[in-house]
Amino acid sequence: MPSGLEAVLGDSRDDGNPVSYEEIVRADERGELLAAGEDALTSWAFNAEFVPPHLGGRLRAADELVRRIRPVFRRDIGLGLGYGVTSLMAAVNVWSAGTQQQQRRAAELLLRGDRLAVAYHELAHGNDFSRNEFEARWEDEQVRLSGTKELINNVACAAAFVLFARTEQGGGPRGHSLFLVENDTAGLVHLPRTQTSGVRGVQLGGLLARDCAVPAGALLGDRGQGVETALRSFQVTRAVLPGLAVGAVDTALRTVVRFAASRRLYGATVLDLPHSQEVLAGAFVDLLVADALATVACRGLHLLPEQASLHAAATKYLVARLLTDAVEDLAVILGARYYLREGPGSIFGKHLRDLPVISLGHAGETACLLAIIAQLPALSRRAWQEPATPPPALFDPAAALPELTFTRLALSSAGRDDVTGLLHSAAEHRPEADIGPKPGALVVSLGDHLRALAERASAIPPLRRGPLADAETFALAENYALLLGAAAAVGVWRARRTRGDTFLGDPRWLTAALARLHARLTRTTAPLPGGTVEWLLRELVCRERDGLSLDLSRTPVLT
């Protein structure tokens, strides 16, 4: 039986359910978040998921958070972001840098059902936020704010917001600070809403301040610590968001499996056609890899916090990429139906429109790759040559985790990476006998790619190690993300085999996963390895029939 939020949201295909797909798509058409969906989340005290236990909430392990709130993302990314995750993006800054009083205030607001907004972005500077211009000046025990913020989710309806403002003339990495500002501050002006092509219910707005006074106690963390706190907090949300997006692709894939099983063409069902089978199996495997990587990144926040800057950036990039590609491939099977804004395929179309926000918003693809590029040379000197043994708990959601300690999240991994080197250790342990001949050979080849990456990364010209990176350097960062994804898959497969999981402990999904990552790495396309398509498809069809999620957790769903 479904439990938790899944049960609260109920059967999404039942038109009598106020939170059905039909109602979700209708609300999206109106440019609103579905009110019944918001009510359901309120009844479950959704915001408590973002508040640590010592402040009265239920926030524990990051990967557990992802699994607990994924049900809303299976149904509606807009609702998940609009009602909730925006508040998480704001709150982590407060948990990371706030005083006890600020933490209590943020917890109080969230637990009574209010929202927090997070105002970093200025259109003029995009991801280059250390050049932002919104200014805060100290004057007689007060801070005076002046400037404009744009594309800020929930800025009009939030009770308070976390503000990123320049506090030194020249800007730069020590030139900005964060503030926790009450939204009813006199003199703040809210700018008109900006419409979006996806997540249409999300309320993007802007903020205008002209010499607006807030108490000096609004400063969050130390003066000049804004960029640093932001970069730490981003690590958490960059790991969590991709994991949530897995939920939307679960529904997209499920919708297409249903269609393919029922639609008859050429005297057979679409599900019987070899091309459809290959696309479905491929999307399924990519979804599993995405979940494996997101799980590793989330658990890494607890277990390898010193390396999280690297792993979270790679995860945000690759998971968003895998998921958007998978949905685009699946659209081909749905044919014209994916383009219709009504009927059973319309939830697919909505997810297809909404998904890009996961890669665009909150540090775009480019920003994530740049965060990796800056670290590549040090990594090439210290990591990747030798086998690594990551903590086994990294791959096993059933294992206990230490608490998340924000101060241990470092700005750079300083050349350490205890995950990717797993490819070498897997290759060392007689991979043919251990994993089977096919994945064994793939693991060996991926290990070779990792050594090649180290070599090429050590030769990146100095000017290309920052924003002036060229296409070749960007490709190295992409390769790194793919190799990390492969290591995550190997790790998850091993952990599940140890636990006797008959599906995830089987080498066949791993073979398919590694083959697909390998193809991306070599910029080629390759069919799925022999014998894997039928096997994957059987599992996929069973899960759809039995109402089980298509991710790693295989949990009952009502979608």
Partner 1 sequence: MPTVDRATVTAWLIERVAFYVEREPADIDPTKHLAMYGMDSLYALGLAGDVEDEYGIDLDAAIVWDHPTIEAIAAYVATESE
Ligand X SMILES: Cc1cc2nc3c(=O)[nH]c(=O)nc-3n(C[C@H](O)[C@H](O)[C@H](O)COP(=O)(O)OP(=O)(O)OC[C@H]3O[C@@H](n4cnc5c(N)ncnc54)[C@H](O)[C@@H]3O)c2cc1C
Q: Which residues lie near ligand X (CB under 6 A)?
A: 86, 118-121, 126-128, 151-153, 196, 199, 202, 204, 357, 360-364, 366, 370, 467
3-state secondary structure 443-465: HHHHHHHHHHHHHHHHCCCHHHH
Applying the rule CB under 8 A, the residues between 172 and 211 that interact with partner 1 are 172-174
Q: Which of 212, 260, 378, 401 binds partner 1 (CB under 8 A)?
A: 378
Length, in residues, of the chain: 559
What is the rounded distance in angstroms from the CA atom of residue 317 to the CA atom of residue 360?
10
Q: Which of 170, 192, 500, 530 binds partner 1 (CB under 8 A)?
A: 170
Q: With contact defined as beta carbons under 8 Å apart, do 362 and 440 qualify?
A: no
Nearest to 278 by CA among 61, 533, 24: 533
Q: Which amino acid is at 128?
A: D
410 contributes a contact to partner 1 by CB under 8 A: yes
Tokens of 158: 């939030």
364 contributes a contact to partner 1 by CB under 8 A: no
459 contributes a contact to partner 1 by CB under 8 A: no
What count of Cα atoms within 13 Å lies in the side-chain half-sphere of residue 365?
Answer: 14
Residue 5 CB, shortest distance to ligand X, in Å, is 23
Choose from partner 1, ligand X, none: what does 199 bind? Cβ within 5-8 Å by kind. ligand X
267 contributes a contact to partner 1 by CB under 8 A: no
Q: Taking contact as CB under 8 A, which single stretch among the options 190-198, 345-353, 408-416, 548-556 is the one that binds partner 1?
A: 408-416
Q: With contact defined as beta carbons under 8 Å apart, do 328 and 269 qualify?
A: no
Nearer to partner 1, 197 or 407 (CB): 407
Choose from partner 1, ligand X, none: what does 196 bind? Cβ within 5-8 Å by kind. ligand X
Which residues are CB-contacts of 482 (< 8 A; sequence separation ≥ 6)?
Answer: 318, 517, 520, 521
Nearer to partner 1, 301 or 373 (CB): 373
3-state secondary structure 331-381: HHHHHHHHHCCCCCCHHHHHHHHHCHHHHHCCCCHHHHHHHHHCCHHHHHH
3-state secondary structure 398-450: CCCCCCCCHHHCCCCCCCCCCCCCHHHHHHHCCHHHHHCHHHHHHHHHHHHHH
Q: Which amino acid is at 446?
A: L
456 contributes a contact to partner 1 by CB under 8 A: no
Nearer to partner 1, 295 or 375 (CB): 375
Nearer to ligand X, 340 or 468 (CB): 468
Choose from partner 1, ligand X, none: what does 462 bind? Cβ within 5-8 Å by kind. partner 1
Which residues are CB-contacts of 398 (< 8 A; sequence separation ≥ 6)?
Answer: 499
Nearer to ligand X, 87 or 380 (CB): 87
Residue 175 CB, shortest distance to partner 1, in Å, is 10
Choose from ligand X, partner 1, none: what does 228 bind? Cβ within 5-8 Å by kind. partner 1
Total residues contacting partner 1 by CB under 8 A comes to 26
CB count in 10 Å sphere of residue 133 = 13
What is the rounded distance in angstroms from the CA atom of residue 88 to the CA atom of residue 106?
11
168 contributes a contact to partner 1 by CB under 8 A: no
Residue 179 CB, shortest distance to ligand X, in Å, is 14
Q: Which residue is nearest to ligand X (CB)?
A: 126
> Residues in the site for partner 1, rule: CB under 8 A?
130, 170, 172-174, 227-228, 370-371, 373-375, 377-378, 381-382, 410-412, 414-415, 462-463, 465-467
